[in-house]
Homo-oligomer: A and B are copies of this chain.
Amino acid sequence: MESWQPDKRISTPPHVLTIAGSDSGGGAGIQADLKTFEAWKCYGSSVLTGLTAQNTTGVKAVHQVPTDFVMQQLKAVWDDGPPQAIKLGMLTSASTVDALATYFARLPNASSSKPIIVLDPVMISTSGHMLVGDEAMASIRNNLIQHVDWLTPNIPEAMALTDMADEGDMNVESLFDMMDITHELSVKYNAPYLLLKGGHKPWARRKVKSLASAAMKAGVELVWLDDGEGGDCVEVLQRQSGEDADDNSYMSEKMVVDLLQERDSDRTTWFISKYIRSSSTHGTGCTLSSALACSIALAAESGADISAQAICQRAIEYVKSSIASAYSFGKGHGPLNHAHMSYRRALPPPTPSNPHPFVSHLIRSDLPLWKSYVRHPFVIQLGNGTLPRESFEHYIKQDYIYLQHYARAHALGAYKSTTFESISYFTSIAAHIARESSMHVAYCESFGISLATLEQTTESAPCAAYARYILDVGAQGDILDLYVAVASCLIGYGEVGLWLQKEVKAGRGNKEGNLYAKWMEDYSGKEYLDAVDRGIENLEKLIAADPPSPARLERLTKIWQECVRLERDFWEMGLKL
């Protein structure tokens, strides 16, 4: 093992483990679990209990993993650092269930590092395949459930767990029947948290609304997931969805109620949401229990006091939108869209080996263009002292005009700021340019250009085009647009200063007797380069705090390239005098 360790600035995400079966088709099992972990930005590991040859139309074959090997996997994962949360899915054999129960029983009980265990009591697949036998189910009920923190049955599973199915009492006639089942399970298995998933039994909005008020009086808490308070105060959105066409159809709309029962507080919550009519429901149970495990682990990590209700709501909302955003896939019940809440960054995050991903991207987005600016013949001739004096004089006069607008652009940045820090950054640059203008005047005088001459100089088209482009970007866009617009001047002159200094060092430039030595010194001096560093750091900080979408990055890149082009034309103006 090398002594090298990863950068500590990149924090380790919570570790969530799934103990479940494999679905070759990728829609359910540990595949759905791992996809969910990725979506929630948790680190996922997996212990396989069995493999299925499966696709969206059903399970074709099952391969059992021996209990010994299940436990070897668990031990390997645990020994490397135990997970913060565990999701238990398909547990195919009684011996595996018993071995897991024994393992969990031996964990030090009081330990704060004991993982939270979520059990999805899987019995049959969405496609109707019996996944767990009677013997394994009996072991789950008798030996395993007592170690579980969260139990997440759907209605058929809940009835099987309460023995209602055996007693021939299969009916759930009202939402209060669901409350009865929840209470019975809660008492029978003493689970701290019980989530009864109501997706198998949708109800008309009318019924839910009328029962909801009765439930509230009985102390139930209501969480409306789609519409504020069941459609109140959002007439305008209902109209948009065509839902107010007639009030009757709106009230007949199907709703799903998920019930959360909290043992210690004896609190019951109804999560009420629109029923999503969809055939893309393969792996819904796996996904919900995995999302719950992530939600729990992330809440614990945040250190904030997040209620079980809030933890649960996040998981349910994720599953609902995963179903709603599902795409067509396969011939049967398609998978959920696990990745719908993630999108690809347009830029990697900063790392020790790539500390400036944004500025590096800007420069590399058109390297020949950048090179045509920072290695312009004007610059090269300036460095070796062969630049015609008239060219430099023309340039320096226009630069005096440009700097005034450049200072104004920074004042505009201060005006657009939302923090004192930002106001201070922009005003200090504007003030610095204004202050240093006297040095610019003195420098011009050394070339025989008087202040009067400077003030009578007509602004050239390249100067006007560039300065006014920056100011217009500032007026049209937000503060980040403006930051980028002023950056190519700041950074480019730093690049030129540094490079000329190196060239002189390497004997390729010429400083002795060079008319422009002072100019070169100014832009390779500590004061200027420190300002460049601050500018680069500020840009990277803004980008890291609010990572741009591809569309936004494209716009920013366009502003940068336009400014680089206008900078190049500014040298060109000097040279082509």
Using a CB–CB cutoff of 8 Å, the interface residues on chain A facing chain B are: 1-2, 4-6, 8, 10-13, 15, 22, 24-26, 31, 34-35, 38-41, 43-48, 51, 53-57, 60-61, 63, 65-66, 69, 72-77, 79-81, 226, 228-229, 232-237, 239-241, 244, 247, 274, 276-280, 321, 324-335, 337-345, 348-349, 351-356, 359-360, 363-364, 367, 370-371, 374-375, 415-416, 418, 475-479, 481, 491, 494-495, 498-499, 502, 529, 532-533, 536, 545-547, 549, 551-552
Contact = CB atoms under 8 A, between A and B. Distances in A.
A206 B24 CA distance: 48
A77 B22 CA distance: 13
Contact of A236 (B337, B340, B477, B494): B494
A76 B55 contact: yes
Given A25-B76, A48-B24, A532-B236, A352 B324 contact: yes
15 contacts: A4-B278, A6-B278, A6-B279, A55-B76, A55-B80, A56-B80, A57-B80, A226-B354, A232-B371, A234-B363, A235-B499, A236-B532, A244-B498, A415-B476, A477-B478
Given A24-B76, A235-B498, 18 more contacts: A6-B278, A12-B328, A13-B327, A25-B45, A25-B80, A26-B77, A35-B38, A80-B331, A81-B329, A226-B360, A228-B364, A233-B495, A234-B495, A236-B536, A237-B536, A343-B547, A478-B481, A546-B551
B79 A240 contact: no
B345 A344 contact: no
A57 B81 CA distance: 11
Contacts of A481: 478
Closest 3 CB pairs of A and B: A55-B80, A26-B45, A478-B478
Contacts of A340: 345, 348-349
A76 B51 contact: no
B22 A46 contact: yes
B26 A53 contact: no
Contacts of A75: 53, 60
A46 B72 contact: no
A328 to B, nearest CB: 5
B77 A24 contact: yes
Given A35-B44, A327-B10, A348-B325, A66 B69 contact: no
Contacts of A6: 278-280, 326-328, 334
A236 B53 CA distance: 56
Contact of A233 (B26, B356, B371): B371
A502 B375 CA distance: 70
Copies of this protein in the assembly total 2
Nearest to A18: B26
Nearest to A17: B26
Given A26-B46, A235-B499, A348-B340, A330 B80 contact: yes
A370 to B, nearest CB: 6
Contacts of A239: 498, 529, 533
Nearest to A19: B24
A302 to B, nearest CB: 14
A11 B74 CA distance: 38
A331 B477 CA distance: 48
A274 B498 contact: no
A115 B479 CA distance: 47
A279 B2 contact: yes
A373 to B, nearest CB: 9
A100 B493 CA distance: 60
A367 B229 contact: yes
Contacts of A5: 279, 328
A51 B39 contact: no
A60 B79 CA distance: 11
Nearest to A555: B418
A546 B416 CA distance: 21
A34 B228 CA distance: 37
A60 to B, nearest CB: 5
A149 to B, nearest CB: 22
Contacts of A66: 63
Contacts of A54: 76
A244 B45 CA distance: 42
A352 B278 CA distance: 11
A10 B325 CA distance: 7
Contacts of A552: 546
Nearest to A477: B478
A8 B328 CA distance: 7
A321 B56 CA distance: 34
A37 B81 CA distance: 26
Contact of A355 (B47, B57, B241): B241
A419 to B, nearest CB: 12
Contacts of A77: 24-26, 55
Contact of A354 (B236, B324, B359, B415): B324
Contact of A60 (B44, B56, B72, B278): B72
Contacts of A339: 13, 38, 41, 342
